[in-house]
Structures are given as structure tokens and as C-alpha cells.
Amino acid sequence: MATPRIRLIVLVAGLLSAAASVGQSIPANVASGAAALRDRALDGELAWEIVESLTMEVGPRPAGSAADRAAVAWAVDTMTRLGFSNVHTDAVDVPHWDRGTLELRMTAPYAQPLVATSLGGSPGTPETGIEAPVVRVESLAALLELTQAELEGRIAYVDHVMERDRSGSGYGVSSVIRACAHVAAAERGALATVIRSAGTSRHRFAHTGGMLIGGAPAKIPGIALSNADADILTHAVNTGEQVSVRLLSTARDLPPTQSANVVGEVPGSGELADEIVILAAHLDSWDLGTGAIDDASGVGIVLAAAKLIMDSGERPRRTVRVVLYAAEEIGIYGGRQYAEAHADSIPRHVVGLEADFGPGRVWRFSSRVAEEALGLVDELHALLAPLGIERGDNEGFGGADLGPLQRQGMPVFDLSQDGTTYFDYHHTADDTLDKVDRDDLNQNVAAYVTAAFVAANIEGDFGRLPVTTGQRSCPK
């Protein structure tokens, strides 16, 4: 037992270490442990098996559907079978949107069927359909400049071609058009909105995706054309003749229902055990494909990474918590529910990593941490560099589901997947298992386990971020 004097010294040392706990360097044993798991991950089977099982045996799992409930049961069963602790579901109230059927035809200046799909959350048309002239613009800004007289009784067509690049940056503009064009069009009296798909595919199918921001219902239908069909419509507009289309959609909202976030843990041990390193992916998918790249891949990556930590022979110091979120696609319902339900413990979430950008190889490591932790993050990057990962900046995004936690101060890491081909398949019928490469998937697991293991085992942390509101709204 310590004498009072020694106890005092221990206490002072403890205070000093607490004050200096942000951004301490990575001890050699933690670095070597992370490197060993990183290398083991490259030969793994588990991530692939998870993606295969979820896509082949559950398949499309849009929020609120029977398959969504099957996905929740699959996740509970899978986490339990893998040996996760504290496996449970947190109920999430979700909308239940049904795509129904869609027919879209150009009726003037000549007749031609067009391949298109409804955007998530779109209302349908009256039973008799809608037939109206088309007004084409190339951007949301141009749409916002149109007057009521120019759009009243017409169909707005936003023809923006999404840029392809590794970071997926083109999705920013395109997804805002998808979410906001119908708002501007409805305010100006338009009957429906048609957009060129937010996607880079040259195949003849359309990319769906959510069209609602903040849960406000859409007033008019929102439709996405395949890129090839947008070319057809644009060609018609360029003839200078009046172009009309006819639209018949049975999309509708069914009664709201419940889904669940599915949570499982690798429990920490010791005095940091109540601190959390959170690994996130989303369980739901759109209905058109089997949700292999979006987001079964993320589910496989985070579960396999956590399983490697579980099997490493020693419990981590912090708890590694995997959350498979509900209803991300239709409006981040699970992500918002989690942050509300766990509001008291957000300060104990020391860092978050989300996997929701497909299975492409991770090429960049960005962070959003307190300034004083940047040296620590650079050390972590040195452990990721052998995977071919470059260091990004400290402007990391963190992911859609972790956004509500990040805006409440939780630091985040971005392990950026190569998104060069991601938007060829994203939100389409082509989002299937054959698009997933096992080696690339394992490189992701290696990157995630490296970062998560280090975060879970070091003495210090990454500080806190300023609290922000992050309210999304459409430009006016």
C-alpha cells in the first residue's frame, strides 16, 4: 500500500497524464499489434462471407420492408454467431416508401419510351398520369432562376452530367440536385421533376436515391433518367421543338413502421472500457440491387475488422462498438436516432469510422480531430501507408450515419475508398456481389482494423471537435 506522500505523487502524475492525454504518441506494442492485425486482414475470408450472405440471402432491404426486418434478424444472428458482446437492437421509427411502377414516355416531338426510376420518397402521379411540356436546365442554379410563368404546369428537367473521379466529389452536386430540384420546381408550379441520374453508368438503367431533406414530404414526383435516356431527351430538346413527356407512377408512402439499429461490441477492459470507438455501416439498401457495394461491403468491413480485434488475444482498452444503422438511404433515420438515444454518452465516443463508400481500395486517410492530435494521426498514418494509403487533410467527412455524432464533437477518420467506378453501380439494379473484389475488400478491413485497434488501445485520444448544427437545407 502506498504511503500518503506516494499517493499524492501518483495523483499528480495522473492529473498530468489526463491533461496531456490528447495526442500522445503510439506505443511500440500498440503499433506492432496493429501491424499484425493489418497483415492478417489481407488474407481474411470473413468480410467476403458477410457481404455474400447479406446480399444473397437477404437481398434488397429497403427501410420498412419485410426484407429490412429480415436484415435486422440476420445482423443479430451474425453478430451473435461471431461472438460479439451486448448484441442488441435499438428500435428506429422509419418511413416505408414503395416504388410501385413507373412508365415514362416522350410524346412530342416524337414518341419514344424512356428508362427511368422514381426517386426515394417520391409521390406517385394521379391515376391518369401526367403529360406536360418539358423545361430543361443544366443546374440547380438555373432552375432557381426560372419563374412561375416559365414552369407552371410543366415538367422540370435538370440535365447535369455527374463528374467521375476517385474521391466521388461529383456526387456532391448531383445529390443536391436529386434532393432539391423538386422543391424549387414545386414552388414554381411544376407538375414533376425529371433529373439525369446522379451516377456515372453508361448502362441503360437509372440511379435511384433519396429526394427528401429533413423528412419534409415531396409535393411532386421526382424521377431519374438513365444517362442514355437523358441523352435522348436532351437531343429532343435541342431540336428546338416543344418536348413533352407522359408520366405514370404508382410510388407511394405506406404507413410508417419500425426498423432497428443493430449493435454489438468488443468490450474494453480496464479504466478506459467505458470509452467507445465506433465502427459504422448501414444495414438497409435500395430495392433495385442487392446492396452489395452500398452497403453490405461496409457491413462486412466493419464486422471483420472488429472480429480481428476480438480474436487478437487481448481485450482492447476501449470498447469497440459496431453499429449497423437502419434506414440510411431514405434519410439517415438510424444515425439520427442513435445520436438522440445516446446523447449522454456522446462525449465517451472517442472517434468514429464509417464504411459507406463501397469496397474500392482505400487510397487516402483523412481525419477530423482536434489540432493537438494531428501528430498522433500522422503516426497512425505511418501504419496505414504500407497499404498504399496517402495522408489526407483534417477536413474529414466522417459519413452520413456518424454525422450527428461528429456534429456533437466526436472526432472522425475517413478511410477513403477509391470511388472511380462506385457511381457506375450505386443505387442501381447493378449493385450486386459480382462488383465486389475480395482483395480490395480485405485491404479495407486491414485499414479499418489498423485505425480502430490503435484508437482502442492508446492512452490518449483525439480531443473533441466544435459543436455545429449541420442543418441541411436546399438553396433558394
Coil vs helix vs strand at 126: coil
The per-residue DSSP string of 218-255 comes to PSS-EEEE-HHHHHHHHHHHHTTS--EEEEEE--EEEE
**Least CB distance from residue 282 to Zn ion, whole Å?**
6
Binding flag, residue 295, Zn ion (CB under 5 A): yes
Query: Is residue 228 packed enough to be buried (19+ CB in 10 Å), middle (13-18) or exposed (0-12)?
Result: middle
Terminal Cα distance for the chain, rounded: 69
Q: Candidates 109-117, 143-151, 289-297, 436-444 — which segment interacts with Zn ion by CB under 5 A?
A: 289-297
Q: Candidates 69-77, 306-314, 355-363, 375-383 — which segment interacts with Zn ion by CB under 5 A?
A: 355-363
Binding flag, residue 294, Zn ion (CB under 5 A): yes
The alpha carbon torsion through 268, 445, 454, 365 (nearest 10 deg) reads: -140
Q: Which is nearer to Zn ion, 229 or 329 (CB)?
A: 329
- Cα–Cα distance measured from residue 290 to residue 463, given in angstroms and rounded to the nearest whole number: 39
Q: Which is nearer to Zn ion, 229 or 356 (CB)?
A: 356
Q: Which of 237, 111, 137, 129 has the alpha carbon at shortest distance from 192? A: 129
Q: Candidates 78-86, 90-98, 295-303, 429-437 — which segment interacts with Zn ion by CB under 5 A?
A: 295-303
Q: Candidates 78-86, 111-119, 250-258, 353-361 — which segment interacts with Zn ion by CB under 5 A?
A: 353-361
Binding flag, residue 401, Zn ion (CB under 5 A): no
Binding flag, residue 287, Zn ion (CB under 5 A): no
Q: Which is nearer to Zn ion, 154 or 207 (CB)?
A: 207
Q: Which is nearer to Zn ion, 229 or 295 (CB)?
A: 295
Q: In which element (H, E) is residue 474 found? A: none
**Least CB distance from residue 15 to Zn ion, whole Å?**
44
Q: Which is nearer to Zn ion, 275 or 356 (CB)?
A: 356
Q: Which is nearer to Zn ion, 350 or 412 (CB)?
A: 412
Mark residues 311-350: x for contact with Zn ion by CB under 5 A, - for none: ----------------------------------------
Instruction: Tell me the H-state helices in 104-260.
Output: 140-145, 148-151, 170-187, 227-238
Q: How many residues belong to the site for Zn ion (CB under 5 A)? A: 3
**Least CB distance from residue 214 to Zn ion, whole Å?**
18
Q: Candidates 155-163, 179-187, 313-321, 356-364 — which segment interacts with Zn ion by CB under 5 A?
A: 356-364
**Least CB distance from residue 4 to Zn ion, whole Å?**
57
C-alpha cell at 267: 468490450
Q: Candidates 70-78, 174-182, 286-294, 449-457 — which segment interacts with Zn ion by CB under 5 A?
A: 286-294
Q: In which element (H, E) is residue 387 found? A: none
Q: Are 263 and 257 contacting, i.e. CB atoms less than 8 angstroms apart?
A: no
Q: Which is nearer to Zn ion, 356 or 424 (CB)?
A: 356
Among 68, 159, 284, 356, binds Zn ion (CB under 5 A): 356
> What strands, in cross-sheet order, belong to the sheet with 362-368?
85-98, 252-266, 319-325, 276-282, 349-354, 412-417, 362-368, 390-391
Per this entry, what is the length of the chain? 476
* Site residues for Zn ion per CB under 5 A: 294-295, 356
